[in-house]
Amino acid sequence: MTDGKQRVIFLVDDDRKLRRLVAKFLRDQGFAVQEFQDGSEVVAAVQEDEPAAVILDIMLPGENGLSILRRIRNDSAVPVIMLTAKGDDEDRITGLELGADDYLPKPFNPRELLARINAVLRRSVPPVRPEAGAAADDLTVSCWVLHRKRRSIAVGKEEVELSATEYRLLEALMMHPGMVLSRDELLNYARGKDFGPFDRSIDVHISKLRVKTELLSGGKRCIKTIWGSGYMFEVGA
């Protein structure tokens, strides 16, 4: 473990030579670096001790980087920079849709990687922690009950668990019932950072939320899209 002042970077790449070179460069810049040669352990490591950022290669043996990113995003908003050796846009777009913060094609200059790391860290805002005891309070809007301690949504006796990002999105919407929240406002609240105009991860998470909430409401939609503006939690839903 490093001291509290040193930011930790998780570096996931099966190219041992490249990984060691990048790790040394980042350590010289004041970061602590934990290296992974594949994705078999990084998801659990992120959950146990969330780093400042994750540098994640797409082309990995076994489970690929996009699949690993998807699993990371189920529970964590940690900044993720994807590395790709491919020249087309498909992996980049898919990565952004899944919630990647940036990408860098190989080969790359380590100084550019450092600049991108610093950029995503500047955009990162530590999440606001509730006051002591506040997390145990349920948030109720109409027939909907958001269980903060269990991180779930319920209607009557029916209850569905939420991922960390889904929970924060729904909490933001339910704390402002009947009010339209823009995509940027929701992303800042749910993930603690700003995003570029082409990031579509908000739509992916809203879609998943709708599936879960409609299971509880018999198909009735409580999250309304306000075209060109954002999303709203319908008070009477």
At residue 97, does pLDDT exceed 90? no
CATH of the structural domain 8-123, one choice from 3.40.50.2300, 2.170.8.10, 3.40.50.300, 3.65.10.10: 3.40.50.2300
Indicate whether 91 pLDDT > 60.
yes
Counting Cα atoms < 13 Å in the Cβ hemisphere of 20 gives 3
What tokens appear for 166 in the block? 């889904």
**What pLDDT score was predicted for residue 181?**
83
pLDDT at position 32, please? Answer: 93
**In this structure, CATH architecture of domain 134-233:** Orthogonal Bundle (1.10)
Among candidates 59, 64, 58, 53, which has minimal Cα distance to 29? 53
pLDDT tens by residue, 2-61: 344 578 999 999 999 999 999 999 999 999 999 999 888 899 999 888 799 999 999 898
pTM above 0.75, yes or no: no
Output the CA–CA distances (angstroms, integers) from residue 90 to 59, 66, 108, 117, 164, in the order listed.
Answer: 13, 11, 19, 22, 27
Distance set, CA 3 to CA 8, 78, 121, 142, 175 (Å): 10, 19, 18, 46, 36
Q: Give φ, ψ of 100 to 5 degrees.
A: -65, 150
Q: Specify the pLDDT at position 50.
A: 79
Q: Are residues 85 and 59 in contact, defined by beta-carbon separation less than 8 angstroms? A: yes
Locate CATH 3.40.50.2300 in the chain: 8-123
* Distance from the Cα of residue 202 to its chain's centroid: 10
- pLDDT value at position 92? 73
Model confidence pLDDT, tens digit, residues 50-79: 799 999 999 898 899 999 999 998 878 888
Query: How many other CB atoms are there within 10 angstroms of residue 197's CB atom?
Result: 7
Q: Which of 79-83, 124-128, 147-151 has the lowest mean pLDDT?
A: 124-128
pLDDT-based confidence at 123, cuts 50/70/90? low
For the chain, give every residue range classified as CATH 1.10.10.10: 134-233
